[in-house]
Every structure is written in C-alpha cells, then in structure tokens.
Amino acid sequence: MKELRLLDAESNPVGIVSFKEAIKLAEESNLDLVEIAPNAKPPVCKIIDFGKFVYEQQKRDKIQKKKQHVTVLKEIRMHPNTDTHDFDFKARHANNFLEEGNKVKVSVIFKGRELAYKEHGEELLKKFIEALEDVSKLENEIKFEGRTMHAILAPTKIKKKK
C-alpha cells in the first residue's frame, strides 16, 4: 500500500498513514483528501473542503496580481528634422511616461532622402536621452533597424499613483 503524510483540517499532523486510511478519515469528516506536496517522500496530503480551498487560492492569486506593477512600453516618434518646440513637447510627454513608471521607446523615423543623413537622427536621439537623464536610464543602446533608429529608456524613480 502507498503511504502518505496526512494533515487534518486544522493543519495538525496526523502522521504517516495508508492511502485507504486517509480516505476513510476524510469521508468520516465529510471533507476531501487533497495532495499538497506530491514530490515529497512520502507525499503530503491534507483533509480539507476542496471548494473552499480553490476559492481561497483564487482570492490569494487575485490579491497578488493586484499588487503587481505592470510596465508598459510607450513610444515617442520623431523625424530627424524635428523642430525644438516639437522636441520639447515630446520630451515632456516622455518625462510624464517615465514618472508613471512606464518605459519609453524613442524612435526616429527616416523617409526618403533622410536616410542619407543618419547622423542627424543619432544626434537627435542623444539629445533626447540627455534631456531625460535625470528621470531615466538608457536600457537599450541606439539601434538602427530598417528605416527607424531607436533607443529604450527605463525609469529610475517611480511616482506612486494617488
């Protein structure tokens, strides 16, 4: 017969008992026999109300999920010839995103003949990174893929929501 370590409804150890005896004890108390630790030697089982156990587990998972902070990747798009006012406007938006705890992907998109002047886009990205260095850190270096050049900024400090 297979033996297992048994815990009663109040989590008090009953001891090592046979499988049949554990089922008999569970039926006598009108509860279910649930395997808690199947990899232990011998396996650990507990006599509990399974419906209540599942409900409490779902409740714990929901609370755990609520406490998690989900980071979102926001994107700011520019062109290599973006003017200073537009640049400042986009930098302010990126600053707000970073203070909320979101990551920011800054992209410089090249069209047509702009591809010949990749250094303008790189200068613009470096200027943008420098403008936000007090609230962010550079997570991914500047990369050029296709017609876009981008970098990812991560927040250094997260402001708590009210």
| pLDDT of amino acid 161 | 52
pLDDT digits (tens, 9 = 90+) for 65-122: 888 777 789 999 999 998 999 999 999 999 999 988 899 999 999 998 988 888 999 9
Question: What domains are defined for the chain?
Answer: 3-65 (3.10.20.80), 73-155 (3.30.110.10)
CA dist., res. 101 & res. 156, Å (int)? 8
Structure tokens at 102: 């979101």
pTM of the full predicted structure?
0.58
Pairing of strands 148-155, 103-109: antiparallel
Continuous H helices in 19-117 = 19-28, 50-67, 84-99
Write out pLDDT tens, residues 12-70: 888 899 989 999 988 998 999 988 888 888 899 999 998 998 999 999 999 988 887 77
Residue 159's pLDDT band (cuts 50, 70, 90)? low
pLDDT confidence band for 162 (50 / 70 / 90):
very low
Which residue's structure tokens are 């790189």? Answer: 122
Q: Are 27 and 41 in contact (CB under 8 A)?
A: no
Residue 144 is which amino acid? Answer: F
Place of tokens 């986009």: 90
The answer for residues whose C-beta is within 8 angstroms of residue 105's C-beta and 6 or more apart is 73, 74, 75, 76, 150, 151, 152, 153
Given pLDDT bands bounded at 50, 70 and 90, which one contains residue 158? low
Which 3 state secondary structure label does DSSP give 88?
A: helix
Query: What number of other Cβ atoms are within 10 A of residue 162's Cβ?
Result: 3
40-44, 83-87, 147-151, 157-161: range with lowest mean pLDDT? 157-161
Bridge partners (DSSP) of residue 108 are 78, 149
